Structure 1
Amino acid sequence: MNWKSWRRPSVGFAAAALLSAQVLGAAGTASAAEGDVEVHLLGINDLHGQLDTTSIVADKAAGTAPILATYLKQAQAKYEHSLLFHNGDSVGASAPISSLERDEPTIEWMNMMGFDVGSLGNHEFDQGIAALKAQLNGGLDPKDGVVTHKGANFDYVNANVIEEATGKTLIDPYVIKEVGGVKIGFIGLVTKSTPAKVSPAGTKGVRFLSVEEEVAAVNKYAKELQDQGVETIVVLAHDPASTKEGVTTGEAADLAKALPADSPIDVIVAGDNHALANGEVNGKLIVQAYSYGTAFEDIKLLIDPKTGDVTEKSATVTTTFQEGVTPDAESVALIKKYLEKHPELTKPVGTTDGSVTRTDAYNNEAALGNLIADAMRTADFGDNAEAADFAFMNPGGIRADLPKGDVTFADLAKIQPFGNTLVKLTLTGAQVQELLEQQWGTNADGTPNTKTLQISGLKYKADLNKPVAERVSDLQLADGTAIDPAKSYTAVVNNFMAGGGDNYKVLTKASASLAGPIDLDVFYAYIVDTFKGSAITAKVEGRIVNTPLEGAEAPDADGPATAPSAPSTEGISRADFVSKLVEALDLNAVSTPSTAFTDVAADASYADAIAEAVNAGFIKGYGAGKFNPDQAITRQELASILANVLKQQLPTVNAASVLSAFDDASSVAAYAKTPIAQLVQAGILSQAQPGSIMPKGTVLPTEADAVIELVLAASAS
């Protein structure tokens, strides 16, 4: 869709906020034909054991199991015919209230809620196949040997994971549920990238179907369902998908396109990337409801009871805002039971000023990354040896920031929720060099995939303008001594990395390996022993000094040369924001879309808008001729662009003075300090949270609309 044929909905901002919580699907919602059975499929994805975690959505509290339970129970009470499902990653990377009990509390909660069917996500494989089976079928947990799982009281399905020993699917590929006199079939899938997302030990003993095999399997099982009289078929595919400007893309959309146009598949439920999806692709409705229990999907199906066919389908994604909602009493009691079992979860172990964060850890050294790596290096492996020479921490394993104020064990567990085992490896200096080079990978589409290791015991420089094999220089010990390529050193990593996870394949070639304690235990002990209940401190010290891509020294109008590392999939993309802005300003001076950016195709739906913005001087893009159109826009990028729009209409400010009101002022990039200060002074940009401007936080669509409206008012004054 070309942006010039797109029009921003003429709704007030209160209504826009409501729409962010209630998102209607692409299909119609007319009343059922006489005799049709109306069924509602109520579902969640990517809960990740966040039973007691409150999330912030659109500046409001959302989520927790008791709140989610209330929403789901109210929906069930409203409908005559409904089924309850989850679409994978219900466990794994969990909050400590669940992870400390091997995720049995989450399974117990789902049993209590009466879930009807679930699918496997990649995180169900975190602890290996034996642990997965214990969670699903019951039995003593093979990892800790303490927790006894009761098993799930509902069906799990998966059709694309094959057990090598038997040649059959790991669990049943599909299940049939009957409700309101009609039959519905559920086929399960998990993202094919699972082997790259979990430790190699997690998928030992199974293989994942290729794209072609997966499509063939879905067709095969759909035919089997039809042979059993089932014409309404839902694929619970823990595959990423997102919907932007009415267009749904991602792995789940690719699956829909690969299926025949007349396929009996009616709905594909997506997951994994924690995004919103709600649209049709090749006749299949694709839906995803964010993550962490902050939303649920309500898929409405009208089914002809005679033929079993779906006559209408649509979906609503509802945000589980806490305000005005009474928490479910059963869920509250369950959480209370496990909190009483683990009083350490609420006991402070220190405090922070809010500056110990993982900010930009995928690209650069981060304060929290340094703290974790330092803790890892001190780990006791029972070998009577001194501390290891080095420690390396993968940025994807750092799942949260240290909060401002009191820090509890629960906060530490949210940062390192996987329960990974630390491993001491013996590596040569040359292998350490190779490890650092393996930080810079490439995605299948040719785009960079950077996973900068957080380090302890060494330092180096990297020139990002050079080929990967030539980037690292001045590789030294912390005291400045050069690392000898031929000498052997000891290095602590987690077992995920030691197995070659995240492409750190050189670690599998270590000359010696020794398994040790759990990463969280080491982190907790280090915090307690080092800071003794007082202020927990860490900072960026220059362990990693990157020379950015050429042109980055003079920042662009809208961002630094390297993109933010882990954008929120809930935020509006850079292309979508520019499209909204250009439309609102009614710019129409460029006749030919710009192809100045190598990642903006001339026929892209947003190409015209980007060309208009470049022509008007609002944007310049990143270094190396890229715009990163699909990257979620950050608040500081937004500020930089809008400052270019308003130019002389913004006040002259003392940026340092204005920003001093915010606790995170030091994290504002140099290029964005004045624009943010000007917009704050002009009343256009407000704090994201009390005392925080969150410069690298992503921007929700409703916030983008509101800010653009304020810019229009300012430009007209």
Structure 2
Amino acid sequence: MQAQSRPSRRRTYALLASAAGLATAAALASALPADAHSGKGHGHQHPGRYQDVQLLSFNDLHGNLEPPSGSSGRVTETQADGTTKTIDAGGVEYLATHLREARKGHPYSVTAAGGDMVGASPLISGLFHDEPTIEALNKLDLDVTTVGNHEFDEGARELARLQNGGCHPTDGCYTDKKFKGADFPYLAANVLDEKTDKPILKPYWVWQKKDVRIGFIGVTLEGTPGIVSADGVKGLAFKDEVETINKYAKVLQRQGVQSIVALVHEGGFPSSSSYNYDCDSPGAGSGISGPIVDIAKNVTPAVDALVTGHTHTAYVCTVDDPAGNPRMVTSAASFGRLYTDTTLTYDRRTGDIARTAVQSANHVVTRDVAKAPDMTELIGKWNTLAAPIGNRAIGYIAADVNNTGTESPMGDLIADAQFAYGRELDPGTDLALMNPGGVRAGLTYAAKGSEGDGVVTYAEGFTVQPFANTVNLQDFTGAQLIQVLKEQVSGTNAAAPKILQPSANLTYTLDLTKTGADRVVTDSVKLNGTAVDPAATYRVATNSFLAGGGDGFTTLGQGTGDLVGTDDLSALAQYLTANSSATSPLAPPAANRITIVQ
């Protein structure tokens, strides 16, 4: 697979020397028997002391069975001369081929995932409550995954159905065969039923082949309730990630399992957007920042590696554990564009991983390999069922409407659509705000298929807005509105700002040279060119997630005069239909409503 996976980094890291007198990593390496990686003993009569176990992993698939379009379907690769190039990547037909090829020659191989396998999915999966994605993951031979926040988009009961099978409670069965559920366990160690105080799914799982055993503990971010609708997490408690992992690491050790991998649906931000960036290289500093760093620094040394996700970034880094020893922390971006190949060297004498020999690298899921026929068949089956709905044209665009940047053209377009719909619902509507996390993709001018350049289909719109939130109207004072804007860059959003996408009539300045709430220049906030009056009342359109105070916007949960409208995708489709045609396509918004000072 070397030619197919593109140039990629293989890295080995060394532990600090032990008190037993191994003064250097070289000395420790020389202490390993010659058959350390052969899996065979002298004379090939018995297994050797060391056995290489291949750990393949990926994260944040989000039901992207077909190759993602636009920037969502590309990765950046750094070349030997320091330049970068982009590579088209992703699609389960190709992911299956890459994983199956990677497993060849590795009799000890386990495949794990870092959460968000489903949720916020394109139409082919989302329309059928992600049953197609579970079927695809079964065919991929996924062994285990943790839950992510999006596994709770439809609540714990629906998550249990994805695990155990059965027809949807309201939609019924989509085919003549009953949905059988996941062949692999979902792990949810830190997600407790508030009534029983017990995990809603298995907290851990042990992979075993012959005498080799590796335990997996799965957790999602403790802050899941703040980024999922209230109905999705009703009756659930989300506990601290580190405390939970440490708790179950002890449980596994008491059962004699010394090799442990944590699947953590929380992530970090590497210093480079290139998937093959060496974040442990000299001069790179820590190479990674964000919540996963503190988690990795505090998770017990009993855990040998962390497979992570959530931030949709790519990294293969080492972060010191509490004992000061480096430990591998990986993430494979999102949407099935990458997979991580990690070699864990299992010590049969101790039952633990010899961390001196751990190797890991991210590989691109290129589209220059043969498609897996079983995945092509699966996609064809579900596309046939979705076609009557998905192929309907809802509008026309003159160019790509990208979902990139602090303020994105796609986010602005959605805000404009919700503002227009709000004005129909209540002519007194003053503005609209859209959360960036609710914008899952952009619109591509030359989309796949045969519908014609510039045509926006319902399926493409669904990919952009798959959550089925409603458009809600609420009243806020001008002071509250300004506070909402400050909450973008303060409180829980201080470290990782969530910049709301505004309708065209709201403008302001964001000064990134300042810190916290001061980054919003208060006297620059204007509506229709006039300064917002702190004492006046304004009617604001948002989606139902924001109207409930989601994403750390607590002030948006304090509005009055609530009025609930249609779902947000219908509002977008209605806007595109009304404002575009084949002869007069819609131009992408200029994304110039927020003036950014850097």
Alignment match of 1:130 (pick from 136, 157, 167): 157
TM-score (norm 2): 0.77
Partner of 1:267: 305
Pick 1 or 2: higher relative contact order, CA cutoff 8 A, min separation 6.
2
Q: Deviations over 1:338-379 (max 9, x none)?
A: 11112243455444332533443x3x5x54333212211343
Change (3 A) 1:62 1:471: closer
Once the two structures are superposed, the pairs formed by residues 347-366 of structure 1 within 5 Å of their partners are: 347-354=392-399, 356-360=401-405, 362=406, 364=407, 366=408
Once the two structures are superposed, the pairs formed by residues 500-539 of structure 1 within 5 Å of their partners are: 500-534=549-583, 535-539=585-589
Is the aligned partner of 1:299 residue 2:353?
no
Q: Deviations over 1:544-586 (max 9, x none)?
A: 363x54xxxxxxxxxxx2xxxxxxxxxxxxxxxxxxxxxxxxx
Once the two structures are superposed, the pairs formed by residues 541-556 of structure 1 within 5 Å of their partners are: 544=593, 546=595, 549=597
Q: Deviations over 1:466-514 (max 9, x none)?
A: 9749833476654x67766555443221122111123322221112223
Partner of 2:11: 24
Once the two structures are superposed, the pairs formed by residues 245-284 of structure 1 within 5 Å of their partners are: 245-246=280-281, 247=286, 249-250=288-289, 251-260=291-300, 263-273=301-311, 274-279=313-318, 281=320, 282-284=325-327
Partner of 1:379: 421
Partner of 1:42: 56
Give the drift of 1:166: 1.3
Give the drift of 1:463: 7.1
CA distance in 2, matches of 1:303, 1:506: 51
Partner of 2:367: 322
Letter in 2 for 1:375: A
User: What percentage of aligned pairs have identical amino acids?
Assistant: 33
Is the aligned partner of 1:412 residue 2:461?
yes
Change (3 A) 1:192 1:23: farther
Partner of 1:152: 182
Letter in 2 for 1:56: R
SS in 2 for 1:167: coil
Alignment match of 2:148 (pick from 121, 140, 151): 121
Give the drift of 1:415: 2.1
Once the two structures are superposed, the pairs formed by residues 604-623 of structure 1 within 5 Å of their partners are: none
CA distance in 2, matches of 1:447, 1:118: 28
CA distance in 2, matches of 1:284, 1:19: 25
Is the aligned partner of 1:180 residue 2:210?
yes
Q: Quick check: 132-141 or 460-469, which moved more? A: 460-469
CA distance in 1, matches of 2:127, 2:246: 40
Change (3 A) 1:452 1:167: same
Letter in 2 for 1:410: A
Change (3 A) 1:421 1:150: farther
CA distance in 1, matches of 2:363, 2:62: 18
Change (3 A) 1:526 1:266: same
CA distance in 1, matches of 2:5, 2:570: 43
CA distance in 2, matches of 1:39, 1:21: 20
RMSD: 3.4
Is the 8 Å Cα contact of residues 5 and 365 (structure 2) preserved in structure 1? no
CA distance in 2, matches of 1:229, 1:469: 52
Give the drift of 1:156: 1.4
CA distance in 2, matches of 1:239, 1:224: 22
Letter in 1 for 2:459: A
SS in 2 for 1:41: strand
CA distance in 2, matches of 1:134, 1:423: 30
Is the aligned partner of 1:471 residue 2:521?
yes
Letter in 1 for 2:444: P
CA distance in 1, matches of 2:260, 2:106: 20
SS in 2 for 1:51: coil
CA distance in 1, matches of 2:367, 2:236: 41
Alignment match of 1:334 (pick from 378, 389, 395): 378
Q: Quick check: 505-514 or 24-33, which moved more? A: 24-33
Change (3 A) 1:459 1:132: same
Partner of 1:244: 279
Q: Deviations over 1:372-429 (max 9, x none)?
A: 1221134389x97547333221233223222234233333223223332222223344
SS in 2 for 1:21: coil
Give the drift of 1:94: 1.8
Q: Runs of 5+ in structure 2 lacking a partner?
A: 15-28, 42-47, 76-84, 271-277, 446-452
Is the aligned partner of 1:425 residue 2:455?
no
CA distance in 2, matches of 1:23, 1:182: 24
CA distance in 1, matches of 2:298, 2:105: 36
Change (3 A) 1:167 1:448: closer
Change (3 A) 1:533 1:142: farther
Is the aligned partner of 1:451 residue 2:499?
yes
Is the 8 Å Cα contact of residues 399 and 588 (structure 2) preserved in structure 1? no
Partner of 1:703: none
Is the 8 Å Cα contact of residues 508 and 526 (structure 2) preserved in structure 1? no
Letter in 2 for 1:153: D
Is the 8 Å Cα contact of residues 316 and 361 (structure 2) preserved in structure 1? no
CA distance in 2, matches of 1:177, 1:17: 29
CA distance in 1, matches of 2:293, 2:534: 47
Is the 8 Å Cα contact of residues 316 and 328 (structure 2) preserved in structure 1? no
Letter in 2 for 1:257: K
Q: Deviations over 1:613-667 (max 9, x none)?
A: xxxxxxxxxxxxxxxxxxxxxxxxxxxxxxxxxxxxxxxxxxxxxxxxxxxxxxx
Is the 8 Å Cα contact of residues 463 and 472 (structure 1) preserved in structure 2? no
Partner of 2:196: 166
TM-score (norm 1): 0.65
Give the drift of 1:206: 2.0
Letter in 1 for 2:61: L
CA distance in 2, matches of 1:541, 1:285: 39
CA distance in 2, matches of 1:26, 1:351: 52
Is the 8 Å Cα contact of residues 476 and 483 (structure 1) preserved in structure 2? yes
CA distance in 2, matches of 1:144, 1:423: 25
Give the drift of 1:239: 2.3
Partner of 1:597: none
CA distance in 2, matches of 1:513, 1:539: 29
Q: Runs of 5+ in structure 1 lacking a partner?
A: 1-14, 550-560, 562-717
CA distance in 1, matches of 2:548, 2:443: 28
Is the 8 Å Cα contact of residues 252 and 268 (structure 1) preserved in structure 2? no
Change (3 A) 1:463 1:357: closer
SS in 2 for 1:317: strand
CA distance in 1, matches of 2:214, 2:577: 53
Is the 8 Å Cα contact of residues 114 and 265 (structure 2) preserved in structure 1? yes
